[in-house]
Amino acid sequence: MHRSTRWLMGEIVFLVVVASTLGSFSYPLIVAYDWYLFLHLFGVVLFVGNMVVTGAWMFLAERNGETSVLRFASRVVNWADVAFTAPGVILIVIGGLTISNNRWGGPLATGWLMAGATLFLASGVVWIAFLIRYQDRMIRLTEGSEAGLPKEFYSVLHKWYFWGAVATILPIAASIFMVVKLSI
């Protein structure tokens, strides 16, 4: 497992521990409500923005076709998840749970909150089940290859594109529910 993938796993464990700890205290407002809202929205920007940018980055690296560029891009995409996606998830989850518990009665209290939370959770399942694994595999497939990349690299990359698109569309839809507060 690549070092950046181990960092991602650590960030996921950190989120679970912090969310569980705060949950045992019913997500108290430690700072003003508006700060939670700001941090929640900042997390959405980090999360969705990084997903879009890394997809574009890998697409451009593939179009370039150089092994060294694809090797670099594969590593940077995983480190970008460490630096932007995972911290965005932490801000979204902690801010969202605190906001929803203190203002709306919890993430399952209204249809629009439940729909948004479900879509966000589905995106996280895709990220953990597919994207992290594919990113780690792409890094390993680029190691030690100077003459060219194996066909398996491109197969994994194209699967990563597909699941990356799914994982990006889901939180965008969740954001629509959260902003518009659609009744369902």
- Residue 51 domain flag: yes
* pLDDT tens figures, 104-145: 999 888 999 999 999 999 999 999 999 999 999 999 999 876
At 138-176, the pLDDT tens digits run: 999 998 767 789 999 999 999 999 999 999 999 999 999
Flag whether 36 is in a domain: no
Is 33 inside any structural domain? no
Can you tell me which residue has the tokens 């181990």?
6
pLDDT of residue 118: 96
- Phi and psi at 83, nearest 5°, equal -85, -30
Instruction: With respect to residue 31, please indicate whether it lies within any of the assigned structural domains.
Output: no
Q: To the nearest whole percent, how much of the chain has pLDDT over 90?
A: 85
Rounded to whole angstroms, how far apart are CA atoms 21 and 25?
Answer: 7
The boundaries of the domain holding residue 49 are: 3-9+41-180
Total count of residues recorded for the chain: 184
Angstrom distances, CA of residue 31 to CA of 49, 91, 97: 26, 14, 14
pLDDT score of 183 more than 80: no
Are the beta carbons of 31 and 114 closer than 8 angstroms?
A: no
Give pLDDT, residue 148. 84
The pLDDT tens digits for 38-71 are: 999 999 999 999 999 999 999 999 999 999 999 9
Read off the pTM: 0.91
Residue 56 located in a structural domain: yes
Q: Interior CA angle at 137 toward 45 and 10, to 5°? A: 55
Domain-embedded: residue 161: yes
Using an 8 Å Cβ cutoff, are 141 and 156 in contact?
A: yes
Residue 184 binned pLDDT confidence (cut-offs 50, 70, 90)? low
| Distance from C-alpha of 49 to C-alpha of 138, rounded to nearest angstrom | 22
The pLDDT value given to residue 181: 85
Q: What is the mean pLDDT of the chain?
A: 93
Alpha helices in the chain (DSSP H): 3-24, 33-64, 67-80, 86-99, 111-126, 132-142, 151-180
**Per-residue pLDDT reduced to its tens digit, 66-86:** 999 999 999 999 999 999 999
State whether residue 78 is helix, strand or coil. Answer: helix
In a domain, 35, yes or no: no
**Domain tally for the chain?**
1
DSSP 129-166: IIIHHHHHHHHHHHTT-SS---HHHHHHHHHHHHHHHH
Confidence of residue 15 (pLDDT cuts 50, 70, 90): very high
Domain presence at residue 27: no
